[in-house]
Amino acid sequence: MGVLFLFSAIVFLATEASYNAIESASVWVRNYFGYFYLYLGLGCVLLLLIVALSPLGKIKLGKENQSPEHSLWAWTAMLYSAGMGAGILLRAVQEPVFMLQNPPYPSDLGPEILALEFTFYQWGFTPWAFYGLFAMVIGYALFVRKKKVLVSSAIEDTIPNTVARKGIDIITILTTVFGLIAAIGLGTAQINGGLNHLFSSSFGLATTLFLAMLISAIAFFSVWRGVDRGIKVISKFNIVITLLLLFFVFITSDLGGILNNLARATLRYVLDFIPMSLAWGKYNPGIAFLTDWTFYYWAFWLAWAPFTGIFIARISKGRTLRQLLLGVLIIPSLGTFFWFSVFGTSAFQLIESWGTYSNEFGNVFSSIFVFLENYPMASFLNLTTVLLLISFLVTSVDSAVFVLSMFTDRGKRTPRKSHRLLWSIFILLATLALILLGNAKPEIDVLVAVQKLLIITSLPFAFFMVVMTGVFLKEIWRGDY
């Protein structure tokens, strides 16, 4: 925590200089390593498919006769809540509509299908492959090699340098903390924006601070109770309410149009996946578009991959590598495709019925609330969305606090409650401080700066993933299982 306090002090004492440095560094990372991220993403997807479909897929994370620790339903709910969460609400309408209005490249598919296909691309197989790679390697180290729950456990037999391994673990902790702070800060901003839109009011700083404290308190209660009695329960609640919202919009919209777009966009995504992943030929949207969207997303998913992958590994005991990898790649991706097809297609049809579009869905914080006003029981739906935003943020925080506690409690699979308490308090105080700093310096978007900081910290993980994967494949090749 000393490193975190030192970094925080520098940011508070030199906020503007820190912001400019972070902005410049994040652009540099995307400009010089963006294409490397693309190739890495494609490589991860192909590698996971090869491992899953090969005889290696039979390797079990645990004893040979052991059943999965969690049911498929509970496992899916937890991995989705930790891996995507509030993001699908944040972008449900805004991103497909943006892609419709600003096509990434010319296509004969039609603007609607292209908009959905590119949205699928940025939320589909690749981000889950980043998560799945860490889950596979850490799960193997944890349940087959009987190592501690640390990122460095994946390389400790091959790279004995303690300083290097410690550095990887420290960067993982820093990235997880910054990601959490950004998630809570941005999430509370969206909830606040939704409440302002719903009640035609202007809830301000006090409401944002209260929401941050509420989310942190519920997350602490969840992580205090543990995986089975806390995190899993809230994750199941999230998925049930999300499915109810999804199917309500689905059955009150154009079912045929949604299913047609889903089928066509999914097929095109699968067929175009490799050239899109390489930004090859006509599938290259240009460096400016890639920098603002794909490179940004890939760096962000990479930054979240260690903690999310470790959490997925932690809940995957008793599953084979095939079950883990195909489950992580396919189940949440298909769910995401259906989600964006429902909300995206319905938004496209609304815009067509209006005749003109005045950027009603342009604001990422309010777009889904504006969208739901066009449906029956709009107020109830919007309040449900606010509740979902809070609940998804809780599951992002509680799973991350659990992982942080495992790190600092010497890699224990069930960390002591004192560690969970300390991390919960620290995350809350850091979030409150960041929100106050952003309010004191409105000319600087502090929350966006923290997000861009994740892009910088993702770079070491990108290189580490290559090394980690090489070590893992070497161990598997030797038959060390």
DSSP 270-312: HHHHHHHHHT-GGG---HHHHHHTHHHHHHHHHHHHHHHHHHH
Buried b / exposed e along 82-105 (16+ C-beta atoms within 10 A)? bbbbbbbbbbbbbbbbbbbeeebe
What pLDDT sits at residue 440? 67
Statement: residue 6 has pLDDT above 70: no
| Position with higher pLDDT, 47 vs 407 | 47
Among 271, 315, 272, smallest CA distance to 403 is for: 315
pTM comes to 0.90
Residue pointed to by tokens 């600003």:
102
CA distances from 41 to 45, 214, 322 (A): 6, 36, 19
What pLDDT sits at residue 65? 81
Look at residue 201 and give its three-state secondary structure: coil
Ordered by where they begin, the domains of the chain are 2-478 (1.20.1740)
Decide if 69 contacts 315 (C-beta within 8 A): yes
Residue pLDDT, tens place only, 109-165: 889 999 999 999 999 999 999 999 999 999 998 888 888 877 888 777 777 767 777
What pLDDT sits at residue 155? 78
CA atoms of 255 and 259, how far apart (whole Å): 6
Cβ-proximal residues to 53 (8 Å cutoff; 6+ apart), any chain: 322
DSSP H or E segment with residue 445: none
CA atoms of 405 and 411, how far apart (whole Å): 8
| Position with higher pLDDT, 202 vs 298 | 298
CA torsion, ordered 295, 289, 90, 195, to nearest 10 deg: 130
Residue pLDDT, tens place only, 273-297: 999 999 999 999 998 899 889 988 8
Provide the pLDDT confidence category of residue 21 given band limits of 50, 70 and 90: confident
What pLDDT sits at residue 105? 92
Decide if 404 contacts 226 (C-beta within 8 A): no
| Amino acid letter, residue 95 | E
| Position with higher pLDDT, 120 vs 86 | 120
What pLDDT sits at residue 9? 67
What pLDDT sits at residue 19? 75
What pLDDT sits at residue 13? 66
Supply 466's token pair: 């290559």
CA 130-42-50 angle, 5° bins: 85
What number of other Cβ atoms are within 10 A of residue 36's Cβ? 16
